[in-house]
Structure formats: C-alpha cells, structure tokens
Structure 1
C-alpha cells in the first residue's frame, strides 16, 4: 500500500498532473502470491480521473521491464476506467508467476487526457517513477522514459493474493517511510523478511508519510494521522495489527520557524499527544485490530531538538512504555540510543542528520519487535 497525500508545490509532478503521458512506477512487494490487483486513487482529485489503460510487469533495471512479463490490467473487464473525485477503483486480478516478498513490479498508467492535480505519495522510498510522452504501456526498454520522479502517483496499493494470513500496518512518518533507506531496507521491509525467515510470512504494509504529524495537517506532509488512520490502516484489506510510530514532528516542528509546509504549527503538550494515541487505540480496538505502541526515537542534534521537545519526548515515551494501554510495546528509543547519551542516536545508527536512522538503524528497529506481538 501507499499512504497518499494532496498535491503540493514541491519538486514533483503532482500539481501539473499528466496529459497524453505514461507513468511507470516501480514498487516492491512485501509478500508473495499468484495474483496481483492494483488500486488507483483519486482521493484528492478535483475532477474525475480518466485512466486510459494500465499494465503490470516484473521490473528490470531502471524503467525497463522483464521482456514478456507485461500484462494489461482490466477494470471490470474494461481497458479504461473513470475514477470519481475522492474515489478509488481496484483492477481485476492479474496472474503473475514467481511473486515473492521483495519482488519488484512496474505499474504503468497511461493518461490520454489531462488528469488535473495528482493524488500522490511524495517520497517513494522503495522505487522510482518514470514519465514518457504518449502511450508507452507496452515499452519493454526504458528508452522512452526520459523523466524521473521520487514520488508515486495515483497508485494506492498492490494487493497480492492469496493473502489469508492477515497483515501488519506500519503507521508513521518519514522514519517509517524509510527516509535515507535503500530499496528493501526500511524497517517494515526488514520486519517482513524476519517474519518470512521465521516461517510466519505475512504482509507488512507501509503507511509512513514523510513529515506527517499525528495532530496537525500540513499542505506538504499530508492530512494529520488521526484523520488518515482509518483510510491508511483500518480500511486496508486484512489488517490485524498496527505499529504506531508517530509524534516526533508534532514535538519538533513548533521548535522551528513556521514555513508554508508546517503552518499551522501549534505548540502541543504531552497530554495532547497521548490523547491522540488513545484515539488510535480506541478506533483500532473497535475494529478488532491490535495496536503496538512504538517509543519515539532519539533526536538530539537534529534541527527539531530543544530542551522542551526533549522533555515532551521523555514524558510521551514513559506513557507508551508503562501505561499498558497499547496491546504491546516496541522500544525503538532504547534500541537506537547512544549508550553514552540516550537522547542521541548511536553514531553507528545515525544517517547523519541525527534524526533518521541509517540502514543499520532500521535493521535494529526491525529486530526490536517481538514477532509474537504481531
């Protein structure tokens, strides 16, 4: 799945959308199966989205696909589909052989007519998107795809079947989304690999959204977590457990001068953030979904660090760890902390910005989760 957000003015294709263009998007599966269905979203569209056609193929290098693997995607048997503003459609099942956890697929969407602004995911950490003029759905090589974006567009998810084991959703911000991580190295990817190696393979869906906050919307970083929790977690097929790692931006942004991306930028209290977590727990339990609380990771030395934000993190983490209100707890804060100064990321786990872990850090996070809690 992909956590989606409204178009913004950053360096991406969301504001302009597409017209007589093909968009090829490379994604990575977290579980295997024999059939795949794509989901196309027009969640933030201002007009119906006219998708002329789509293909799904096994990805090769860059924007190329494995020869002979591309298959057309139908929608109720039709080649094209109209997605209403605010709506979503699911393609018919496509049979593909050899789908395993880690398989990379290329989803190609062709828009003959102007789409208007695009519902999208800004930081696609597991692959890239490529744009070409005209209808390039059948192109095997990547020659026609001369433009590249780090974002995904209109693609809400790829569902692989059979998937009767249920799924885990990792819900959070850029740390969950895997900022700085190589493809396959985000903590949810590594957790999926751990489960598969243990003989308990199950899909791990990534609902991370860079810059996202639990309590406050952003023009650049998506709707607040309280709002998107139902769509991105509870409404996902087969959700059984959610890992909640969000709040660091709620604590940190008020310590920075406000920008167009962080406005509104209200100061918050530990009690307000805890009340937000309680809302997530209540809504999840009402749907029979388990909730694993994850402690907020160290960030001393990052731009959002102050004495005040550190105090808030300490109070919130104490509640996560000791309140007993979550079904289980994963202590990422302790796993990543510098033994000489627990308010900092250990140097061996620091990507360099003192906020986001590196690949070794993401691996430690995945290893810190008790698999029996999932």
Structure 2
C-alpha cells in the first residue's frame, strides 16, 4: 500500500474510532480522505466472527461495515456480522461491536445475558416459487395494492416485518407497506393503521434472490389477533415468491389503496405473496416453536379464514396457558412438500437452515414430515433415508441449543398413498420416532387421530374426506395431543 493510502486508511480508522464515542459513523465514500470503499461482502468469504472484511483483524472498518449492512437492506444474511449468534443482524450487533472495540468485551461472538431482549417470531410462512396456477388474479400486483391477513400468536410492543423476493427473476418494489388490525374480510380497524419504513424510507426495492426486513415499528400488538398487511407495489417480477396454502383470503385492488379502511370490490385470492414473517422484540423468556411439515401442517382441510390448523390451535393453547404464554408458534409447512426429493417447494432437507434455524428466537422445532416421501417411494430404503434426515435435523438443531420434538406420521389408509409397502414404511419410521431415543420428546399424532378399529386409517370423525388430510376437528385433536410442558423447558 502506498504512503498516501496508508495516511488515508489511518485517517479513516481514527475518524471512525472517534465516531464510536459520538454514536455516529461516516458513510463510506469513493475517494478523497473519507473512508475507503468497503469490500463487496457478498463476494468475500470471511470465516471469523466480527472480521467482516476478511482482512485478518477486527477493527473500526468492520464496525462501519455492519452499519452499512443494516442501512442497505438488499444484502442477505452474513454470519460474520451476527455477533450474538441470533441469526439476525441488527442494532444489537452494532452495540456489541462498539463495546468490543472499546475494550468492554474480549471475544466474539458474544452471548447476550439472559435478561436481554431479542427478536422472536410471532408469525411466519415458508416461501416458495409461486406456480402458474397460483399467481395473483387480474389486475396483478404491479402498481396495485394487495391486502393480506395473518394471525399472530404472541403479542408485543415493537415489531418488524419480513418480505422476500427469493425466487424473483428481477427486482421487486414495495412503494408502501401498511400494518393494521383486521376488522374482518378486507376491512381494517380505524385508528390502528401504521406505515412501515425501510432504512427510514417508505419505499424499498428488493433485488432478485434477496429478502428485506422493515425498520422497528412501535405498535401495540395483541396476541392471537388477525393483522392486515397491505402492500402498494411498484415493479413486480414475473417469477413471484409466495405461499399458495394461505387458507386465508387476500384482497387485490388497482392503484394505491394501501391506506383504505376497506377494499370493497377487490379481486380475491387464497394465497400469500412476498410477506414471510413478523417478529416481536421481547424478553428472553419469550421463545418460538417452529412446525416443519407438509400440507397437514399447512392446513389442507382446515376452514378458510378460520385459523384452525393444528398449529393455530396449538398457538391458542400455549398463549392461554400461563406457563407457556410467552411461546409463539411458526408454521413452516408447505403443501406437497417432501423431506428427501421431489414434492412441491424446496425439500425439508434443503430448507431446514432457512425455515427453522434462521427463524428469530427459535427454541423448539416439531418435525412432522415424511408422508409424501413414503407415498412417492414406499420402500424401506425411503424409511431409512427419512430416519437419517431426522438425525441430521436433530444434530443441526442441537448445535444451536434447539429442542427437537418428533411427531409420528398420521394414517393414510384408503388414500392415494395406500399400499402395503407404504404402510410398512410408515410403521418403520413411526417406530423409530417413538423408540429411537434421539428426539427430545415424541408427539404421537398417529395415536391421537387413528381409527381404533383400523389403525391404518384416520378416525372417520377427523377425516377431511380424502383419507389423508384432516378436518378442523382432526386438527383440534392433534393440537390436544401436544404436551404443553414440553414448551416450559
């Protein structure tokens, strides 16, 4: 490095160190005697926590990188900037780096004390590429307004929302995003509407393949409440990120109707698009439980707009039970999903990091998936491979301090999957779940909903009609089979 560059670098470092004491950091500039341009964090491959520019040291330039990263919401997750290992990069990481550079902390990553607050998911859905049959109806999303309704589990006073363009083939622009309490159908409750911002701005453009998180919003969020998220879109890619199995009605209207109290005359669709999560800022006693599954977890057979999936019922039980009232439930089911290969959406093996480990405040995961693998293959080799996949899930989750509960696969006698080989594979998997000793606990959905007179079939009172998926009463029974004390650990 030349003498001039050394002088520039030393001046930059001194400038940023001085700024640590004042609480401000200058934004990098391209030339002159400001901070040198920071490296492309997407292309570098650092491995040491805190060494964000991979230069072998942790210094004020790394502090500036984290600040820049948060200001530029287009970047994806970068583990070297996650200084408290909570799968999120936010103001807490800025504070930790500041304390480290001032000598108040001696090592990274730093575990935040038990009394600290943190982000915890209160609602989520698993994103996938939207199939042609599930695209938005006319007039489409571009330059139009979409209102989507979701039911949160835990409440809080501060929150943030997450949006995804993971499967998009071009940038996605959100001109304006509003959050309000739903008043039923397309209406919102007057006086509850708030506008979200992104790095202080109302509009945000999400590059293809990326996700974005809103700024923190002060909001009195009540537990178990239907919330309306209304997006006025700009440009929208042809390939959309969404979740087809919403089991709730979304409302689409031409032009900008983001602040409207009602969207009468709107086109309707039973799909979600772009929105993937809501987090609350809560005390350490708050925790999230993720349900990883397929269409039975996604809620096929449940009541549209009824919020009576088994995960919804479980969320209600947890919130109403004093000992577990600070535990939220995140539904990461995808209809038609498989664990190993094929199916709809990314396999459970490929999405486990994203849909489980990267969820905010995760403490528990319920693994309830495998019926589509058995239905498509049906051999004992499939059963063995499913068991190996469960072992992989357990190992990865335990490494993060997450408890893993295994749920037995429910009966499918009389359905399209019915065969002797398929039933044998199901029994092999269920026997391992019950007796393998590797899950932290077992939730026996099979025993809860099977027909006592023919254990290969669902009980008739719980069968939606296709002998594979359950009805609302069946999902209620499944939720009642979950021991709530598992969520006091």
TM over 0.5: yes
TM alignment of 1:28-177, pairs within 5 A:
28-97=151-220, 99-125=221-247, 127-144=248-265, 146-162=266-282, 164=284, 165-177=286-298
Between the aligned partners of 1:364 and 1:268, the Cα distance in structure 2 is 31
Select the residue among 317, 324, 333 that pairs with 1:194: 317
2:339 to 188, 193, 214: 214
1:262 aligns with none
- Give the 3 Å change call, closer, same or farther, for CA 14–148 of structure 1 in structure 2: closer
* Conserved? CA contact 1:25–1:107, under 8 Å: yes
CA contact (8 A) 1:14 1:118 kept: no
Secondary structure at the counterpart of residue 133 of structure 2:
coil
Task: Measure, in 2, the Cα distance between the counterparts of 1:288 and 1:176.
Answer: 24
Match of 2:129 in 1: 6
Q: How many residue pairs get matched?
A: 359
Which structure's residues are more often helix, by fraction? Answer: 2
Matched, 1:282 2:395: yes
Question: Is the CA contact (8 Å cut-off) linking 1:17 and 1:115 kept in structure 2?
Answer: no
Gap regions ≥5 residues in structure 1: 256-265
Aligned position for 1:369:
482
C-alpha contact (below 8 Å) 2:190/2:261 kept by paired residues: yes
- Return the TM-score normalized by structure 1: 0.92
Q: 1:107-131: per-residue Cα shift (whole Å, max 9, x none)? A: 0111122333210001102x22111
Cα RMSD of the aligned pairs, angstroms, is 1.9
Contact 1:16 1:117 (8 Å CA) reproduced: no
SS of 1:148 mapped into structure 2: strand
Equivalent position SS for 1:52: strand
Structure 2 match to 1:336 = 449
1:239 aligns with 2:362: yes
Structure 1 residue aligned with 2:431: 318
Distance apart, 1:94 and its partner CA: 2.4
Give CA deviations for 1:7-32 in whole Å, capped at 9, x if unaligned: 21224329996211111111101111
State the structure with bigger RCO (CA 8 A, min sep 6), 1 or 2: 1
Residues 70-96 of structure 1 deviation map (CA, whole Å, 9 limit, x = unaligned): 111101110111112221111122233
Tell me the TM-score normalized by structure 2: 0.71
CA distance 1:136–1:267, change in 2 (3 Å):
farther
**What's the counterpart of residue 13 of structure 2?**
none
Is the radius of gyration larger for structure 1 or structure 2? Answer: 2
Distance, in Å, in 1 between the alignment partners of 2:170 and 2:366 is 34
What 5-or-longer segments of structure 2 have no aligned partner?
A: 1-123
Q: Distance in 2 between the 1:87 and 1:236 partners?
A: 16
Give the Cα–Cα distance (whole angstroms) in 2 for the partners of residues 341 and 27 of structure 1.
Answer: 37
The verdict on how the C-alpha distance between 1:11 and 1:88 changes in structure 2, with shifts beyond 3 A counting, is closer
Counterparts of 2:482 and 2:422, CA distance in 1: 26
For residue 184 of structure 2, give the secondary structure of its aligned residue in structure 1.
coil
CA distances 1:287-343 after superposition (whole Å, capped 9, x unpaired): 111110000001101111111111100111001100001111001001111100111
Distance 1:163 1:63 in 2: 33
Partners of 2:319 and 2:226 in 1: CA distance: 17
